[in-house]
Structure 1
Amino acid sequence: MESKAHILVIPFPIQGHINPMLQFSKRVASKGPQVTLLLTTTINKSMKSEMGSIQIESISDGYKNKKSESMDAFTERINCVVLQTLPEIIKKQCIPVNLLVYDSMMPWVLDIAKGLGLKAAAFFTQSCSVCAIYYHMHKGILKVPLEGKNASLPAMPLLGINELPDMKLYQNLLSINISQFSNIEGADWLLFNSFDKLENELVKWMASKWPIKTIGPTIPSIYLDKRLEDDKDYGISLFKPNDDVCMKWLDTKPNNSVVYISFGSLANLGEEQMEELAFGLLSSSHYFLWVVRGSEEGKIPNNFVSKISDKGLIVNWCPQLKVLAHGAVGCFMTHCGWNSTLEALCSGVLMVAMPQWTDQPTNSMFIMEVWRAGVRVKVNESGVVTREEIGVCLKEVMEGEKRDELIRNAVKWKELAKEAVDEDGSSDKNIEDLISRLI
């Protein structure tokens, strides 16, 4: 499709938000429009040198020093930098910008777009279900803490207290997530990194209220439809993956014999939980590949590494999609971040859900109760998942009576995900329609 449209994409600068918006940019650019991705200078250094037809525009990080800062301070700094810089960046583009696609965590960008006479689309990096919960909180329909034991919301399963987004670690994030809906009536489109059949009833309900488009799953094409030949990875990693070490180790293991464990780029487990997890893995009958970020290494129990021998491999980071696609991997023990959840569903890999915070408890409920592609661990009265519980869940997913049924469900979602992004699939059509309205 030939087009003179120019789309400027602005992600919030953390990896879990950049990756899906980057993949969306690749999909759009493959259909003709000019796409410019706006990234901070630090993030830009982590990009591949070649990003195909996508243009990269850099803005300052706004750092005054390199000391660590709170999430509140980080958010305030980024908002300030984008607010000051964005109008000038838009005005200087050689090809005029037709559409501003902005991370929904920065709703004030919509005001800039409308002030410049541009169309604007909010990009939601979480599931439709989680976003609907935040919307009902914004409207005051859902109050937290719950007055009862359950929450009943339109087009969604009944939600228990431990299945709602958990913000106790970072209360400010709750207000940020709720504020995503402060001005959505002014947006031309709402884009969701999901696909219609994954959240079917809710997508229909949302479409009756807003101009929504599901455009996911936004993962590299090689793992889905394979239409974009050079799209083999995200093209950005804020952590250095141990590619060769991981893949060579997996190559030595039998099919479906390895438990892969990763809790993403932000979650922090307490020392007691790390110990229970470590010895739960060690006492299981399965190999394990465990991602422990450098900042978390000090929580690994003393002498644990010397005990695992060839049974386990611990790395600071890994190429997750490559790992999930490897035949040796039998299940994924995950924090249930939305990107990781989608990657597992698209790979047909069973999950052991161990949610930590934000949207993860809700995602884990859907994994277990709605999509039926895994199980969720139970915490004890202290909020810790014991080694015994970890062993029970791993056994159930890796060798239990329900494994065949879980695998059939996982394979179904993998096929439906591919179908959504295939030519003339629902997500593909939604992107085509979006572009056609800009010409």
Structure 2
Amino acid sequence: MEGSQGAKLPHFLLLPYPIQGHITPMVKLAHKLLRHGSRVTFLTTEFAHSRMKKAASGRDHTHHRNFRILSVSDGLPAQHERKDEIEVGQSFSRAMPAHLHAFLSSSSSNNKVINQEEIISCVVADSVMLWAVEISKRFGIKTAVLFVSSPGNLSMVLQIPKLIQAGIIDPENGSPRKAEEMEISPNLPKLRSRDYTWNIPGDDELMKKMVFYAMTLVNRSLRAADWVLCNWFSQLDPSAHALLPGPTTLLPVGPLLMLSGETSQGGNLWAEDSTCLSWLDAHPPGSVVYVAFGSTTKFNRAQAQELAMGLELLARPFLWVVRPGLIEDDNDGGGFMNSKMGKVVGWAPQERVLDHPSVACFLTHSGWNSVVEGIGFGVPLLCLPYRGDHFYIRTCVCEGWKVGMELNPDDGGIVTRDEVKRKVEDLLRDDEIKASALMWKELAQASATEGGLSDQILADFVCKMTTV
């Protein structure tokens, strides 16, 4: 866009919520924007940026003269362990608005002493950051939010007022008042109370209330922004564009995948163990069960042992990502999972794993990044949701898009080894799911590749910045 006419590049300020599942799609979006001729400033916390650099072993993953990462304090001391999600989230929400205001003040179009390239064309904030939309609008800057979950969960969040008005949920904490199903999209399964995004395992009522409140803020930010960018492709829910009547425009720009020939884009908070790729090379096509539960899932030791024993009973190779903190009270680093059939790593280059021909299926927590990557690479999914948006994503995977199955716990809440073995074997025998997975892969990659529908939507979005 710069080049022969010397036009000023659009300049995007990207603001991710500082946890892995939100940083990952924002980093991918940054690289897509760069590819379409933009400047990108990525504003994150000092703690998250430090972990990203450590995970990359000091290597600079920006690799682009028009991409820079800036970091600011999240309001907590540097030595703070940041293990309490509520405390971290509250501190971040208190500290960041002032940082954003200061940054936009210094890069305002009214500031005649700065380089014109520093002026922000559009702020792209995580959808949980209503305050970022409001502050940006005060400066007269265009705003977009990145919605990091699925189309069904977007529908659910936008219809919270209807759920309250119909008396289906409690307005204070979202708890179900009626066991009613509700159609939230003509293309997706009906919403049941078990699928609410604000579901939290156990009896943590404070966390449930806080997550429900956060979803009401997301509802408002989705309606307040000029654009909503979504990490999916339109065929997953063709009616999603009608969810936001009025001035806000919904733009499906996904799946945000690292396609063939692209290199790692960074953004990890844990170092990738690439030895798993050579391990996969040594196994036949369609033979390996890939197991990964994202960045926040936690299992007690009994559940982790059942999963491990279920994988052993399969008598087939498996690759299991066991990040620090996955297993509660784990003092031996998951040593009970030592196996001749399996390989355990702390963090994996997931897209390269899913794109590997030896991978047969993906046992997942049903987080949206993992599911959309599984769909994008045509890998059948076995769902074990943990919390939040995982539940309705699981329902859409199994009942809507028909690309997977779910694991069911017993009466004691444990997914047993026999259930793991049985469901993996059922999944690998199901030719309809395999065919459906391949169909969705073709649609996903056709949309994400250069010139595809999602790619063109993002290109048009960037072009609009030259006229606003």
Global fold match (TM > 0.5): yes
Q: 1:196 aligns with which of 214, 218, 234?
A: 234
One-letter code aligned to 2:322: V
Whether 1:352 and 2:382 are equivalent positions in the alignment is: yes
Paired position in structure 2 for 1:430 = 457
Change (3 A) 1:175 1:410: same
Say which SS state the counterpart of residue 405 (structure 2) adopts. Answer: strand
Paired position in structure 1 for 2:307 = 277
Contact 1:189 1:212 in 2 (8 A): yes
Shift in Å, 1:417: 1.0
Whether 1:214 and 2:237 are equivalent positions in the alignment is: no
One-letter code aligned to 1:190: V
Shift in Å, 1:318: 1.4
Contact 1:275 1:301 in 2 (8 A): no
Whether 1:28 and 2:33 are equivalent positions in the alignment is: yes
Change (3 A) 1:335 1:317: same
One-letter code aligned to 1:32: G
Shift in Å, 1:302: 8.5
Shift in Å, 1:391: 1.0
Change (3 A) 1:298 1:85: closer
Tell me whether 99-108 or 2-11 shows the greater mean CA deviation: 2-11
One-letter code aligned to 2:74: D
Paired position in structure 2 for 1:6 = 11
Q: 1:84 aligns with which of 75, 98, 104?
A: 98
Whether 1:167 and 2:190 are equivalent positions in the alignment is: no
Q: 1:133 aligns with which of 156, 162, 167?
A: 156
Shift in Å, 1:92: 2.6
Q: 1:205 aligns with which of 239, 242, 259?
A: 242
Shift in Å, 1:305: 4.7
Paired position in structure 2 for 1:111 = 134
One-letter code aligned to 1:49: D
Give the percent of matched residue pairs that are identical in Structure 1 and Structure 2: 28
Paired position in structure 2 for 1:256 = 286
Paired position in structure 1 for 2:81 = 67
Say which SS state the counterpart of residue 200 (structure 1) adopts. Answer: coil
Contact 1:258 1:286 in 2 (8 A): yes
Between the aligned partners of 1:124 and 1:259, the Cα distance in structure 2 is 29
For structure 1, list consecutive stretches of 5 or more residues without a partner in the other structure. Answer: none
Shift in Å, 1:204: 3.6
One-letter code aligned to 1:205: A
Tell me whether 27-36 or 9-18 shows the greater mean CA deviation: 27-36
Paired position in structure 2 for 1:239 = 270
Length-normalised TM-score, structure 2: 0.86
Change (3 A) 1:306 1:207: closer
Aligned residue pairs, count: 427
Paired position in structure 2 for 1:58 = 71
Paired position in structure 1 for 2:110 = none
Contact 1:146 1:161 in 2 (8 A): no
| RMSD of Structure 2 on Structure 1 (CA) | 2.2
Between the aligned partners of 2:413 and 2:306, the Cα distance in structure 1 is 12
Shift in Å, 1:166: 4.8
Length-normalised TM-score, structure 1: 0.91
Between the aligned partners of 1:300 and 1:59, the Cα distance in structure 2 is 33
For structure 2, list consecutive stretches of 5 or more residues without a partner in the other structure. Answer: 54-58, 108-114, 170-174, 202-206
Between the aligned partners of 1:187 and 1:268, the Cα distance in structure 2 is 34
Shift in Å, 1:42: 2.4
Between the aligned partners of 1:81 and 1:195, the Cα distance in structure 2 is 34
Change (3 A) 1:183 1:256: closer
Between the aligned partners of 2:333 and 2:143, the Cα distance in structure 1 is 54
One-letter code aligned to 1:80: R
Paired position in structure 2 for 1:49 = 60
Whether 1:413 and 2:440 are equivalent positions in the alignment is: yes
One-letter code aligned to 2:397: I
Change (3 A) 1:343 1:130: same
Between the aligned partners of 1:207 and 1:80, the Cα distance in structure 2 is 29
